[in-house]
C-alpha cells in the first residue's frame, strides 16, 4: 500500500468512526445496525486498492446513499457496490439490491430473471404480450435474459432482452460501462440481469417512490468524464460534514427583547341621547307600523323609548 493510500485509509477510518458520521448512519439504519454497516464499508475499501485512493468524502457519501436505500455494500452480497472512478467513489445498485427493493414493497408474489441460452428460442404472443421459451440449450453461452413477475393482485408480465440489446442500452445510458473497475467489467452477469429487472419493473411493475427516487439519485450519480481531484489539506469534521452536504446547526441569533405594545387612546364614549315620542311616531309612520304595534312594543319594553326605537329600526 502506498503512503497516499495508507493516509486515505486512516483518514477514512477516523471519519467513519467519528461521533458525527456514526450518528448519521445511526439515523438512517438504526443505532444497532450502524456499527456493522460502517464495518462493511471499511472492509469493502480494504479489499480494493483503487478505493483506497479515492477521496474519503466520496466513499462516505456513497455509503450513506446505500444506507438510505437499506442496501449492504459488502461485495459478497451483491446488493450495492462502492465503485472507484479515478479519485472519486460512487454507488451502483446491484441485481440483488434491486430485487430486494422490489420485494419489500409487498406488491410481488413472484419475481424471476431467467437466463436464456444459445439454442433456446423466445416467442411472444403479440396479443397477450406473454413470452414462451422453446427449443433446447446447445451451450452455456447466454444470449439473453427474460423477466417474469406476478403481483399479489394477479397481474403478471414477462419481458425479454437479448445480450446485445442489454449492452447497447448500457453503452448508451451507463456512465460506468467502459471503466475497468465497473461491475460491468467485474460482474457482467449481475449487471445484465439488473438491467432487465430494472427496465421491466420500471415499465410495468412497482417500486416504492421514495426508493426509486433515492436509487435514481444514487445510481451512477456523478459525471465521470473528466474527474479531477485537487489535493486538499486536512479538514476538520465540520468541514467534511459540510462537503457531504450535511449542514451544521447554526447558532440562533438572539431574539430582540419584546417591546410593549403602545396603548391605544380610547375615545370617550358618547352619551346616548334619549329618544322622544315624536321620533317614535316619525319612525313608525315611515315603517308603516300602526299605533297598536307601537303600543305592544312599549308594553314589552316597559315604556323604554330607546329600546322601542332600536327594535323598530331592525323591522
Q: Are 154 and 141 in contact (CB under 8 A)?
A: no
Is residue 81 located within the same domain as residue 112?
no
Q: pLDDT in tens for each of the 315 residues of the chain?
A: 555 556 667 788 888 888 998 999 999 999 999 999 999 999 889 888 888 888 899 999 999 999 999 999 988 888 999 988 878 888 889 999 999 999 999 999 999 999 999 999 999 988 888 899 999 999 999 999 999 999 999 999 999 999 999 999 999 888 778 777 778 888 899 999 999 999 999 999 999 888 888 777 665 444 333 333 333 344 565 665 665 555 555 555 555 565 665 555 555 555 556 778 888 788 777 777 777 777 777 777 777 777 777 777 766
Q: Is residue 157 part of a domain?
A: yes
Q: Is residue 222 part of a domain?
A: no
Q: CB-based contacts of 52: which residues, under 8 Å, 6+ apart?
A: 1, 5, 6, 8, 9, 45, 46
Is residue 84 located within the same domain as residue 9?
yes
> What is the distance between the alpha carbons of residues 234 and 309, in angstroms, rounded to a whole number?
88
Is residue 85 located within the same domain as residue 170?
no
Q: Which residues face 219 on adjacent strands?
A: 91
Q: Is residue 272 part of a domain?
A: no
> What is the distance between the alpha carbons of residues 87 and 95, in angstroms, rounded to a whole number?
25
Domain boundary among 190, 223, 245: 245
Q: Are 43 and 57 in contact (CB under 8 A)?
A: no
Q: Is residue 117 part of a domain?
A: yes
In which domain, by residue range, is 182 found? 106-206
Give the chain's domain count: 3
Domain boundary among 245, 268, 300: 245
pTM assigned to the model: 0.63
Is residue 21 located within the same domain as residue 112?
no
Q: Is residue 129 part of a domain?
A: yes
Q: Is residue 50 part of a domain?
A: yes
Amino acid at each position: 500500500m502506498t503512503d497516499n493510500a495508507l493516509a486515505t485509509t486512516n483518514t477514512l477510518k477516523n471519519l467513519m468512526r467519528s461521533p458525527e458520521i456514526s450518528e448519521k448512519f445511526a439515523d438512517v439504519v438504526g443505532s444497532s445496525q450502524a456499527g456493522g454497516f460502517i464495518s462493511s464499508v471499511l472492509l469493502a475499501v480494504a479489499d480494493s486498492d483503487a478505493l483506497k485512493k479515492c477521496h474519503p468524502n466520496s466513499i462516505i457519501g456513497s455509503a450513506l446513499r446505500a444506507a438510505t436505500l437499506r442496501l449492504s455494500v459488502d461485495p459478497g452480497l451483491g446488493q450495492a457496490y462502492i465503485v472507484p472512478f479515478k479519485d472519486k467513489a460512487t454507488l451502483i445498485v446491484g441485481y440483488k439490491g434491486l430485487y430486494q427493493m422490489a420485494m419489500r414493497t409487498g406488491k410481488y408474489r413472484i419475481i424471476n430473471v431467467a437466463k436464456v441460452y444459445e439454442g433456446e428460442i423466445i416467442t411472444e404472443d403479440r396479443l397477450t404480450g406473454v413470452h414462451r421459451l422453446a427449443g433446447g440449450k446447445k451451450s452455456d453461452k447466454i444470449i439473453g435474459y427474460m423477466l417474469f413477475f406476478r403481483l399479489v393482485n394477479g397481474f403478471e408480465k414477462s419481458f425479454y432482452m437479448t445480450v446485445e440489446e442489454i449492452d447497447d442500452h448500457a453503452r448508451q445510458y451507463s456512465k460506468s460501462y467502459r471503466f475497468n473497475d465497473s461491475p460491468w467489467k467485474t460482474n457482467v452477469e449481475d449487471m445484465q440481469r439488473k438491467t432487465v429487472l430494472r427496465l421491466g419493473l420500471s415499465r410495468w411493475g412497482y417500486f416504492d417512490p421514495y426508493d426509486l427516487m433515492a436509487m435514481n439519485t444514487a445510481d451512477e450519480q456523478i459525471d465521470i468524464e473528466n474527474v479531477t481531484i485537487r489535493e486538499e489539506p486536512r479538514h476538520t469534521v465540520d468541514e467534511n460534514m459540510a462537503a457531504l452536504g450535511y449542514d451544521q446547526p447554526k447558532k440562533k441569533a438572539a431574539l430582540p427583547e419584546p417591546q410593549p405594545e403602545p396603548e391605544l387612546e380610547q375615545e370617550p364614549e358618547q352619551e346616548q341621547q334619549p329618544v322622544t315620542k315624536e321620533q317614535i311616531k316619525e319612525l313608525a309612520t315611515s315603517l308603516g307600523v300602526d299605533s297598536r304595534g307601537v303600543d305592544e312594543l312599549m308594553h314589552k319594553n316597559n315604556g323604554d323609548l330607546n329600546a322601542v326605537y332600536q327594535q323598530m329600526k331592525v323591522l
